[in-house]
Amino acid sequence: MKEIRAFEDKLQQLFSDGLVRGSTHLANGQEAVAVGAAAALAPQDVVFCTYRGHHHCLARGMPPEAAFAEILGRLGGCCGGKGGSMHLTDPSLGLLGSYAIVGAHIPIAVGSAWASRVNGDDAVTCCFFGDGTTTIGSFHEALNLAAVWRLPIIFICENNQYSEYTPIAEVVPVVNPAADRASAYGLKSVLVDGNDIEAVRSAVTDARGTAAEGNGPSLIEAVTYRQSGHSRADPGTYKPAAEVAYWNTRDPIKLFETSLDLPTGELEAMNRGVEATIAAALEVALASPEPGPEALLTSVWGDAPT
Amino acid sequence: MKEIRAFEDKLQQLFSDGLVRGSTHLANGQEAVAVGAAAALAPQDVVFCTYRGHHHCLARGMPPEAAFAEILGRLGGCCGGKGGSMHLTDPSLGLLGSYAIVGAHIPIAVGSAWASRVNGDDAVTCCFFGDGTTTIGSFHEALNLAAVWRLPIIFICENNQYSEYTPIAEVVPVVNPAADRASAYGLKSVLVDGNDIEAVRSAVTDARGTAAEGNGPSLIEAVTYRQSGHSRADPGTYKPAAEVAYWNTRDPIKLFETSLDLPTGELEAMNRGVEATIAAALEVALASPEPGPEALLTSVWGDAPT
Amino acid sequence: MITMNYRKAIAEAIARAMRRDPRVVFLGEDVGKPGGAFKTTVGLRDEFGPNRVWDTPISEQAIIGAAIGAAMRGLRPIAEIMFADFLGTCWDGIANHAAKLRYMSNGQVSVPIVIRTHGGAGLGFAAQHSQLFDNLAMSIPGLKVVVPSNPADLIGLFQAAVDDPDPVLFIEHKALFDVKGEVDEDPFSVPLGSAATVRQGEDLTLVATGAMVPVCVQAAERLSEQKVSAEVIDLRCLTPLDMSTILTSIAKTSRIVIVQEGPATCGWGSEVAARTADVGFNSLDAPVRRVTSPPTPTPFAANLEKLWVPTVERVVAEAMSFW
Amino acid sequence: MITMNYRKAIAEAIARAMRRDPRVVFLGEDVGKPGGAFKTTVGLRDEFGPNRVWDTPISEQAIIGAAIGAAMRGLRPIAEIMFADFLGTCWDGIANHAAKLRYMSNGQVSVPIVIRTHGGAGLGFAAQHSQLFDNLAMSIPGLKVVVPSNPADLIGLFQAAVDDPDPVLFIEHKALFDVKGEVDEDPFSVPLGSAATVRQGEDLTLVATGAMVPVCVQAAERLSEQKVSAEVIDLRCLTPLDMSTILTSIAKTSRIVIVQEGPATCGWGSEVAARTADVGFNSLDAPVRRVTSPPTPTPFAANLEKLWVPTVERVVAEAMSFW
Ligand SMILES: Cc1ncc(C[n+]2csc(CCOP(=O)(O)OP(=O)(O)O)c2C)c(N)n1
Ligand SMILES: Cc1ncc(C[n+]2csc(CCOP(=O)(O)OP(=O)(O)O)c2C)c(N)n1
Ligand SMILES: [Mg+2]
Ligand SMILES: [Mg+2]
């Protein structure tokens, strides 16, 4: 979690320094969802995430230098610099992509689970998405299909309370945008504290068991909070101060540290280690060259020389 | 109801005679939904329906000759022959279109209700769709938006048990594809016997009241049965005989006649009257000429001479 | 050689692909037990069973998504979208995901899917059930587009499409369902991107796809009565586009008429015209002409729809206008 | 005259339309209270209130549907789709419904909506946030398409779009947000379908839209250093397409280079090329050339994206190749 936090903080700084182009969406405050879920998954499992997906990729084992380099548009990035912040991908880690069209990846994740069903393999697919995503059509189609076909998939709604600049309560007619809709797909309603890493791990472990035993999909709503703005350029001034303050007391890293009850020295050493790792990763990324101009035309087609 | 049944039966015959091109979807067995709902609506209300919409149009007052002529591609049709069976439309009757892409009209109907809300007028919008339509994304988006904005609209799911050739139970993970999903939109679950014209009228009357009082949308599932095949060319052989027999005993027209308990003579006279009306309407339609060739290019643009 | 119609060739093409490669699975609305809304997939579920032929809910976005995701995991899905017009409901999955994932991931991800659909006018299905969507597909880099005009090509191109590493949109034409043709009993494949010169000629090149191919062949016969010798090219694929067959032809004929079903604007015919006017400019003795549908949706009435689809008469008239 | 940038012109255009006609309402994601994801709609909700400016859930199909339905009931809705790329998620509503309802109903139904969106590459938004979708829109009869290149045109064309009885897709270019220009303080409108000749020339015609207009103007300046006089035409609208301005120009120059952002195939440039090669054929002294993006999705890396978007250098080189 700390590594993720340090990574995202560094990114925000790189942005202020004018080094990050386009859009970047940080997951500060949501680390427990990514790390808790990753802890519950098996190596053969498959993960789909969104433009707000750095935390999922890092939690799943993507080297921070590959993530940094990608976000900086360098050859050493996980996609050779062609994808960018919103499209981190590494199939060798079961990371089958980060998608930038809201909801579009949910049916694709269902397809991955369908493949497991057809092949009879034991991979479980895990698909992350936001609270705002529950209002788009592809969410509904995907949930319905996964439920009817009883596919081995875990849907995890990261309810960080906001859909861009809009509080989620203003755009859905139910209190819990995912959990209150589970019954529409014949599923059990599962609501967990997304800032409690253990609670997340336990819920995802259960869901993984359900999927692996052939009992179909689960829909988990992990309630958490987006500490930053929506994207790199958004200071998030529309967020009520009291709300921000409340959620700061519930910071997942602080909560976890408290629960661990480590000696201060050990904690500080850990923090220094993390900072050093991230700083070193950034060095590596910054040293990576831009992709060569020939990269413009490669990887469009599978049957053309790349 | 009888007029609708006679109309559809005549159409089936016209099809066998090779007079109807393209696709035609009959509503035999579903008449009580259309007539019950129409009885509950006010003249200023607005209706949206689908390619299976002849019954709704006739119930709302479309002259059968205009419907026949449209389905035969004649100038006297409600759309001058340019729309056809799947696109019967007559705004003067509040019939704002029949749509042939599953689910696509539901957001459009929501827009109509939104206009009423913006204008503060007292028209209520009524939108019909099938059970199979509950699995498409636009259904979900439309219901969510209507619920969040508390729009004056009545969604009526005509559950005729089939989505083309597929029993609905095979493609949704809940028993009642609409009613079991009402709670996902913060709505009350309303299930009615769609073959009981009084039950339909009463449910739609309630829903209309809710809408008119500013209390937002209702979602009604009317359980009924598609006595015919999916479209004109489908004999429906996949339907179990026992199922067909059961639903024949629940034919909405028979049920209504029984409830009326009219003297046989009166009933027969009524039937003869209906047959004569429909036969005369067909004569009128058949006498209508084809549209002139200039019609090909008109009504594409609003600012071009038409 | 066996004779079969285009409708039967569809089921045959799918069956051959499924027999040859166990990774091929097939999904869509009513494609399995019911055998397809147009009876184009009859028998497949019986032969291959429910683990390879899947009936779906009405959920085009989920159908396309499922195909993409399964392809990323090693399957070779064939997804049916019942009418090409419905591609609008799932265009994001096709254009923004299937077509772009390889590039965005720098080649790490492959999406070998075939999206089959049928399109086209002429049978009275009206404005929302008569489009081809071929040009929209053609404009998306990363997506291949196939438009077969006869049973043998359909089967051969389908095999190539299933074997292809990229997403392929395979657009059948519903007005051809009853057209018969000879088909090799042995497996064969027709490479994507190779046009067929279906009739040789000297004076004029007619370029067409799908249901316009027989229209052009008939037009060529009529033209020969007027001593005009027309070459007819069936593109068969829109992406890859075989411009070299066209350029070779106009080097000989110096004149071209592009015959396209559907409105002219930004159609495949515009692209062929634009490339001809660029790299083929020096071969041309006359303006690049197109015969297309008018710039309107498809009308329902029989007499209007007949005016909407390009006819033999219009092709002949346009060709004769050169002289 | 006042000076404002393109971003500000967007809010100004919407505000003017809303002031002038009480039937105009505006809906979209984060357009109201937040003032737009790109701060293009700041202040509108404050001025017009929640009954005219509506924030929606993430539901593009519902946004488009709501606009259509409300238009059928007499309102004049403006719907925002945040990025043009997202049009794929609601294409059915636009292409099969908004564009066709008038025709299918034989003129009984009117759908006067404006769908505003922004598109285009150059800012590092990668493959799923950099498209224009202009050509797909242009290919649909019944849909008008506007692509403004500067603040004044944006405001004038927007007024015309809102007043228009048909659905209009209004595609702003995100790379122009900070471009400044002079704007008349009084209400004005620029008729749809009228191209602007932004620079006169004798030897060569450059045709462009949106962010390619300033590129062509710069290229023309460079060309003049080499004694080549280039005329630059800003189409401003793709539908209706003002071919007569182009034809008049090539009657004078005999040469054309079409400069289009986005892959060539079936782009608006193909259509312009095709029509030029048909009705303008006899004016032409040289092949019809296009300068476009390569046939790939938009890459993320800064150096690659720079190669992807047509540049002044490429336009100059293509123009000089005539001599
Ligand atoms: C189809 C589509 N519509 C709109 C957007 C713009 N957009 C990007 S993120 C976002 C908010 C998503 O909210 P949520 O699902 O809660 O995810 P979060 O960003 O909070 O992780 C929106 C509207 C998009 N990318 N795709
Ligand atoms: C988007 C879309 N997908 C598929 C179809 C083909 N189709 C037409 S009717 C139909 C079944 C609809 O079932 P239901 O909603 O139950 O309505 P019913 O026909 O029973 O009235 C299908 C799949 C379509 N018209 N549009
Ligand atoms: Mg959120
Ligand atoms: Mg049904």
Q: How far apart are CA A282 and CA A278, in angstroms?
A: 6
Whether residue B105 contacts residue B89, with contact meaning beta carbons closer than 8 Å, is answered with no
Q: From the CA of B206, how far away is ligand 1's center (Å)?
A: 37
Chain B: partners with 3+ C-beta pairs within 8 Å: A, C, D
Residues of D in contact with B105 (CB under 8 A): 65, 97
- For the CA atoms of B80, B81, B82, B86, what is the dihedral angle to 10 degrees? 120
Q: How confident is the model at residue B264 (pLDDT cuts 50, 70, 90)?
A: confident
* D177 contacts chain A (CB < 8 A): no
* A229 contacts chain D (CB < 8 A): no
Q: From the CA of D80, how far away is ligand 1's center (Å)?
A: 15
| Strands (E) located in C45-176 | 53-55, 76-81, 114-119, 144-146, 168-173
CB contact under 8 A, B101 and D97: yes
Q: From the CA of C53, how far away is ligand 2's center (Å)?
A: 20
CB contact under 8 A, A83 and C104: yes
Go through chain B and tell me how many residues it has: 306
Express as a percent the part of chain B with pLDDT over 90: 93
The closest ligand to the CA of A33 turns out to be 1
Mutation target vs C (from A114, A119, A126, A300; most C CBs, 10 A cutoff): A114
Ligand 1 atom, smallest distance to D86 CA: 1
Comparing alpha-carbon positions, the chain D residue that sits nearest to A86 is D126
Rounded CA Rg of chain C:
19
Write the pLDDT tens digit of every residue in D258-298: 999 999 999 999 999 999 999 999 999 999 999 999 999 99
Q: Enumerate domains of chain C plus CATH numbers.
A: 2-183 (3.40.50.970), 196-320 (3.40.50.920)
- Tell me, rounded to whole angstroms, the distance of Cα C74 from its chain centroid: 26
Q: What is the pLDDT along chain A (306 residues), one digit of tens a residue?
A: 999 999 999 999 999 899 999 989 999 999 999 999 999 999 999 999 999 999 999 999 999 999 999 999 999 999 999 999 999 999 999 999 999 999 999 999 999 999 999 999 999 999 999 999 999 999 999 999 999 999 999 999 999 999 999 999 999 999 999 999 999 999 999 999 999 999 999 999 999 999 999 999 999 999 999 999 999 888 899 999 999 999 999 999 999 999 988 888 999 999 999 999 999 999 999 999 999 999 999 999 999 754
The answer to whether the peptide bond before residue C240 is cis (omega within 30 degrees of 0) is: yes
Report the complex ipTM.
Answer: 0.98
- The answer to whether residue D129 is catalytic is yes
Residue B15 has pLDDT above 50, yes or no: yes
Whether residue D182 contacts residue D39, with contact meaning beta carbons closer than 8 Å, is answered with no
CB contact under 8 A, D129 and A22: yes
Comparing alpha-carbon positions, the chain A residue that sits nearest to C100 is A300
Q: What is the pLDDT of residue C48?
A: 98
- Tell me, rounded to whole angstroms, the distance of Cα B224 from its chain centroid: 13
Q: What is the pLDDT of residue A106?
A: 98
Pocket test for ligand 2, best of B30, B102, B129 (most atoms within 8 A of CB): B102
Comparing alpha-carbon positions, the chain B residue that sits nearest to C90 is B137
Comparing CB atoms, the residue among A82, A106, A118 nearest residue C75 is: A118
Residues of A in contact with B186 (CB under 8 A): 173-174
Residues of A in contact with D60 (CB under 8 A): 136
Write the pLDDT tens digit of every residue in D209-263: 999 999 999 999 999 999 999 999 999 999 999 999 999 999 999 999 999 999 9
Residue B306 has pLDDT above 70, yes or no: no
Q: What is the pLDDT of residue D188?
A: 97
Q: How far apart are CA A21 and CA A35, in angstroms?
A: 27
Q: Which residues of C are catalytic?
A: 129
Residues of A in contact with C112 (CB under 8 A): 302
CB contact under 8 A, C68 and A145: no
Q: Is B55 left (phi over 0), alpha (psi -120 to 50) or beta?
A: alpha
Q: What is the DSSP letter of A254?
A: H
Pocket test for ligand 1, best of A23, A55, A102, A105 (most atoms within 8 A of CB): A102
Q: What is the pLDDT of residue A306?
A: 45
Mutation target vs A (from C24, C29, C54, C59; most A CBs, 10 A cutoff): C59
Mutation target vs D (from B118, B136, B294, B306; most D CBs, 10 A cutoff): B118
Residue D29 has pLDDT above 80, yes or no: yes
Express as a percent the part of chain D with pLDDT over 90: 100
Q: Is residue C89 classed as helix, strand or coil in its secondary structure? A: helix
| Alpha-carbon separation of residue A2 from C103, C226, D294 (angstroms) | 32, 82, 42
Q: How far apart are CA D10 and CA D6, in angstroms?
A: 6
Q: How far apart are CA C105 and CA A295, in angstroms?
A: 12
Q: From the CA of A107, how far away is ligand 2's center (Å)?
A: 20
Number of H helices, E strands in chain D: 12, 14
Q: Which residues line ligand 1 (CB under 6 A)?
A: A 52, 100-102, 129-133, 160, 162-164, 226; D 29, 58, 60, 82, 86, 89
| Alpha-carbon separation of residue B125 from B92, B184, B185, D153 (angstroms) | 15, 21, 18, 38
- Tell me, rounded to whole angstroms, the distance of Cα C117 from its chain centroid: 9
CB contact under 8 A, A183 and B186: no
CA of A20 to nearest chain B CA: how many angstroms apart? 34
**Across residues D11-36, what is the average pLDDT?**
97
* D113 contacts chain B (CB < 8 A): no
Residues of A in contact with B181 (CB under 8 A): 184
Which residues in A have their CB inside 8 Å of a CB on B? 135-141, 144-145, 147-148, 170-174, 180-181, 183-187
Express as a percent the part of chain B with pLDDT over 70: 99
Write the pLDDT tens digit of every residue in B135-181: 999 999 999 999 999 999 999 999 999 999 999 999 999 999 999 99
CB contact under 8 A, A96 and C97: no
Q: What is the pLDDT of residue C193?
A: 97
Q: What is the pLDDT of residue A305?
A: 57
**Across residues B105-125, what is the average pLDDT?**
98
Q: Is A156 left (phi over 0), alpha (psi -120 to 50) or beta?
A: beta
Handedness of CA A147, A148, A153, A158 (dihedral sign): negative
User: CB atoms < 10 A from the CB of B42, how many?
Assistant: 11
Write the pLDDT tens digit of every residue in C175-234: 999 999 999 999 999 999 999 999 999 999 999 999 999 999 999 999 999 999 999 999
Give chain D's mean pLDDT: 98
Q: Enumerate domains of chain B plus CATH numbers.
A: 2-9+26-286 (3.40.50.970)
Q: pTM of whole model > 0.80?
A: yes
* A142 contacts chain C (CB < 8 A): yes
Amino acid (1-letter code) at residue D60 = E
Q: How far apart are CA A67 and CA A90, in angstroms?
A: 10
Residues of D in contact with A170 (CB under 8 A): 55
Which residue stretches of chain C have pLDDT < 50?
A: none
Write the pLDDT tens digit of every residue in B199-241: 999 999 999 999 999 999 999 999 999 999 999 888 899 999 9
Chain C: partners with 3+ C-beta pairs within 8 Å: A, B, D
Q: How far apart are CA D55 and CA D27, in angstroms?
A: 6
CB contact under 8 A, A166 and D30: yes
Q: What is the DSSP letter of A169?
A: G
Ligand 1 atom, smallest distance to A25 CA: 19
CA of A86 to nearest chain C CA: how many angstroms apart? 10
Write the pLDDT tens digit of every residue in B39-84: 999 999 999 999 999 999 999 999 999 999 999 999 999 999 999 9
Q: Is residue D86 classed as helix, strand or coil in its secondary structure? A: helix
Q: Is the CB of B27 under 6 A from ligand 2?
A: no
Q: From the CA of A46, how far away is ligand 3's center (Å)?
A: 22
Q: Is D150 left (phi over 0), alpha (psi -120 to 50) or beta?
A: beta
Residues of B in contact with D70 (CB under 8 A): 111-112, 114-115, 118
Tell me the two tokens of residue C81. 């979208």
